[in-house]
């Protein structure tokens, strides 16, 4: 749920070491979201130097080697004379820096550059040490290349986005400095004391042939969704409590009958939030005529749990990709330079699409709980639309419209990008993954899910307060206080609702609602 945010470089995270082994999720988040500087490990520098010698030994070989002495893509059969090979690399980057549309978020660009550097550090790409060091220097300086929304098909690497980054390392193109100001790349490098790189054999290709953009966005989305699934459990628990639902269906032994791990974790979270609720206890009597709650209340652990399990599957794919060295051709450990298809983004594209599906479904269920609160026929004797004076006041009526609009958009965003393919490069690249597109729409889906959940929280908070003098449980009370720190959520005459909802969303972004619940429940899972 990040975006174009800028941080004080004096207080940023500790440096991240990029070595020959895989980066962790925490490493990616530290660099992308907290502007941590990066350093290459001595082992990585040694491996980079070793593999570079392999490429240099091929430079004068009469036998053609893709990316060293040939053109690219459909032009791979063209032999390039020795005296034009440096121009070949520069031309590759300039021609592939063909992005269009709005600027991509700073955190995405930083993740992309870090992941490309991580592959360079494996020694499988054959770049020079000074080129890898230049990437580390740009990341550490706070300079961010201007990368555009469109330009990657998720195959042969995220070509245009990575090319815009490589262009900056060459001292060309446009960057965004640490304060968010657009400026010329050469001037920005000069101000930071970074020497532009003059690319040599194979280096241009090595800088653009990876799944780094889509992978970076996958790691960021997984981090966001893990937090949002905790929040979804909190919101669901408050809705069940406020709608006089039962927590009996969340009992651990019932969920052991269906041993889905995520489902059990979600049910445990909901139980924890509803614990010790006077409001819940008020209708735990033989006089209660309700036999079963609606699915949006009763089945929250099944939906939230399925989403959790999908996120963890996506995390396993991301971990494998973080351990990968993706380039074409690649320098093997025994010194061969071999073509391959590891740049194809299909594994990453699929899980990006999976996550958009679960984001849509979790949001859809949250919207149904909100609607139930507002409907006089289903909200267990609360005012219509939770309004102060129904008819004069509309209460939260249009908040549900806003939710519905976002849920409808989420359903459109759930349509998979990875099933599409448009042939490119004169049919040489005749099947592509569209993984970058899957990642871009997932970012929109994550943002919308957070906003939908914030509206459910506002609704549940008002509904619970309208149950007075009965009180909700301590965890729900803590969340209501956290909401109240940001905006007025007390029942009363209508006020400008956009202001309330916008302020409430800030607590989603900073995690304060989950923190508030956990101050009572202990860590949620």
Tell me the C-alpha to C-alpha distance, in Å, between residue 414 and each of 298, 357, 425, 438. Answer: 24, 5, 29, 9
The answer to whether 339 touches 66, Cβ cutoff 8 Å, is yes
Give me the residues of the chain with pLDDT under 70, please.
1-12, 60-62, 64-78, 80, 287-291
* Cα 212–Cα 149–Cα 358 angle in degrees, nearest 5: 70
- If phi > 0 it is left, if psi is from -120 to 50 it is alpha, else beta; for residue 114 that is alpha
Question: Domain 16-210 belongs to what architecture?
Answer: Orthogonal Bundle (1.10)
The answer to whether 307 touches 221, Cβ cutoff 8 Å, is no
Please indicate whether the domains covering 16-210 and 225-324+360-521 agree at the CATH topology level. Answer: no
Taking only the tens place, the pLDDT of each residue in 218-261 is 999 999 999 999 999 999 999 999 999 999 999 999 999 999 99
Q: What residue spans define the domains of the chain?
A: 16-210, 225-324+360-521
**Predicted TM-score (pTM) of this structure:** 0.94
Q: How far apart are CA 11 and CA 378, in angstroms?
A: 51
> What are the backbone dihedrals phi and psi of residue 181, each rounded to the nearest 5 degrees, phi first?
-95, 135
Q: How far apart are CA 31 and CA 38, in angstroms?
A: 8
- Residue whose structure tokens are 């080697």: 65
Q: Give the closest residue to 348 by CA, choosing from 175, 210, 183.
A: 210
The answer to whether 173 touches 167, Cβ cutoff 8 Å, is yes
Q: How far apart are CA 221 and CA 351, in angstroms?
A: 11
The answer to whether 270 touches 236, Cβ cutoff 8 Å, is yes
Range 225-324+360-521 classified under CATH 1.20.200.10: yes
Q: Give the closest residue to 222 by CA, choosing from 322, 155, 327.
A: 322
Predicted confidence at residue 8, as pLDDT, reads 46
- 3-state helix, strand, coil split of the chain in percent (to 5) is 55, 5, 40
Q: How far apart are CA 246 and CA 42, in angstroms?
A: 59
Q: Give the closest residue to 152 by CA, choosing from 204, 217, 107, 202.
A: 217
Q: How far apart are CA 175 and CA 28, in angstroms?
A: 21
Q: Give the closest residue to 406 by CA, choosing from 372, 438, 442, 451.
A: 451
Is residue 66 annotated as a catalytic residue, yes or no? yes
- One of 6, 66, 295, 350 is an active-site residue; which one? 66
Mean pLDDT over all residues of the chain?
93
């Amino acid at each position: 749920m990040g975006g174009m945010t800028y941080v004080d470089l004096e207080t940023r995270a500790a440096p991240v070491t990029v070595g020959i082994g895989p980066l962790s999720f925490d490493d990616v988040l530290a660099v992308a979201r907290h502007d941590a500087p990066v350093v290459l490990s001595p082992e990585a520098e040694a491996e980079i130097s070793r593999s570079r010698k392999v490429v240099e030994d091929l430079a004068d070989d009469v036998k053609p080697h893709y990316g060293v002495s040939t053109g690219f893509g459909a032009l791979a059969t063209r032999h390039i004379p020795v005296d034009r090979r440096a121009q070949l690399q520069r031309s590759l980057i300039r021609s592939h820096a063909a992005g269009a549309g709005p600027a991509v978020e700073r955190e995405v660009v930083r993740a992309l550059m870090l992941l490309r550097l991580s592959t360079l550090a494996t020694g499988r790409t054959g770049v020079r040490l000074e080129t890898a060091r230049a990437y580390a220097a740009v990341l550490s300086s706070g300079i961010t290349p201007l990368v555009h929304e469109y330009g990657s098909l998720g195959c042969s690497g995220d070509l245009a986005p990575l090319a815009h980054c490589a262009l900056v390392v060459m001292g060309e193109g446009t960057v965004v400095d640490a304060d968010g100001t657009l400026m010329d790349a050469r001037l920005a490098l000069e101000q930071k004391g970074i020497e532009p790189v003059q690319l040599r054999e194979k280096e241009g290709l090595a800088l653009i042939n990876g799944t780094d953009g889509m992978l970076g966005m996958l790691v960021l989305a997984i981090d966001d969704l893990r937090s949002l699934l905790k929040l979804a459990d909190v919101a669901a628990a408050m809705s069940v409590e406020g709608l006089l639902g039962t927590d009996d269906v969340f009992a651990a032994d019932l969920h052991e009958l269906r041993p889905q791990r995520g489902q059990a974790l979600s049910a445990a979270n909901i139980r924890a939030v509803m614990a010790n609720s006077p409001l819940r206890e008020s209708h735990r009597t033989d006089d209660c005529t309700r036999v079963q709650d609606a699915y949006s209340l009763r089945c929250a652990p099944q939906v939230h749990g399925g989403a959790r399990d999908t996120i963890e599957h996506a995390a396993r794919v991301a971990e494998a990709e973080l351990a990968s060295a993706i380039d074409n051709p690649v320098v093997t450990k025994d010194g061969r330079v071999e073509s391959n298809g590891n740049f194809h983004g299909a594994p990453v594209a699929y899980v990006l699409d999976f996550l958009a599906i679960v984001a849509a479904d979790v949001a859809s269920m949250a919207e149904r709980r909100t609607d139930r609160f507002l409907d006089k026929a289903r909200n267990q004797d609360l005012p219509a639309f939770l309004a102060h004076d129904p008819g004069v006041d509309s209460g939260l009526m249009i908040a549900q419209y806003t939710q519905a609009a976002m849920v409808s958009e989420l359903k459109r965003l759930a349509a998979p990008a990875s099933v599409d393919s448009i042939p490119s490069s004169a049919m040489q690249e005749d099947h592509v993954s569209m993984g970058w597109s899957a990642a871009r729409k997932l970012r929109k889906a994550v943002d919308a899910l957070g906003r939908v959940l914030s509206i459910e929280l506002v609704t549940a908070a008002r509904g619970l307060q309208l149950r007075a003098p009965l009180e909700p449980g301590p965890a729900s009370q803590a969340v209501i206080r956290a909401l109240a720190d940001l905006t007025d959520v007390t029942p009363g005459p209508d006020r400008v609702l956009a202001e309330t909802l916008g302020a409430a969303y800030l607590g989603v972004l900073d995690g304060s609602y989950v923190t508030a619940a956990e101050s009572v429940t202990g860590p949620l899972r």
